[in-house]
């Protein structure tokens, strides 16, 4: 998931892609020993994704010895822009927990059962304004 929109405004927080329920869907679709890679130039969003992965009870951070070698990967447009504009970005690598059952549950899952605790409220985690792209003359992205 490359540079997902963090939906800066609190009233738009429900539109963020990587919430616990969606992470459970992704975990069900992973092949055995598969991984989910997330990149973002909004570090607060990466922290929120990590909290959502923990709450989802489906994913865990990938051990360092299984991190991918990105040197042969093609750069995304945003990644290239970040590198050219000296905008820092981070990564998150996740794999499915061994105890997570990938088959669909018999009864629908409730989003309330996988709510992110108040200590990591997604509406308050992402603060500030979007990063400024130095290569665009200071315009916000």
Annotated catalytic residue 133: no
State the Cα–Cα distance between residues 5 and 9, nearest whole angstrom. Answer: 11
| Residue among 5, 19, 69, 118 flagged as catalytic | 5
In the block, residue with structure tokens 């061994």: 98
Tell me the two tokens of residue 30: 């992973």
Tell me the two tokens of residue 134: 């130095």
SS3 percent helix, strand, coil of the chain, rounded to 5, is 40, 15, 45
DSSP state of 106: S
Residues assigned a catalytic role: 5
């Amino acid at each position: 998931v490359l540079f997902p929109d963090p939906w800066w405004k609190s009233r738009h927080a429900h539109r963020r892609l990587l919430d616990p329920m969606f992470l459970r869907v992704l975990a069900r679709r992973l092949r055995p020993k598969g991984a989910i890679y997330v990149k973002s130039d909004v570090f607060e969003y990466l922290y929120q994704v990590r909290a959502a992965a923990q709450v989802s009870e489906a994913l865990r951070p990938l051990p360092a010895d299984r991190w991918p070698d990105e040197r042969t990967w093609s750069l995304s447009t945003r990644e290239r822009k970040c590198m050219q504009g000296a905008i820092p970005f981070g990564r998150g690598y996740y794999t499915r927990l061994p105890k997570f059952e990938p088959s669909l549950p018999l009864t629908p899952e409730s989003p309330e059962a996988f709510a992110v605790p108040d200590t990591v409220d997604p509406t308050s985690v992402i603060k500030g304004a979007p990063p400024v792209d130095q290569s665009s003359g200071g315009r916000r992205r």
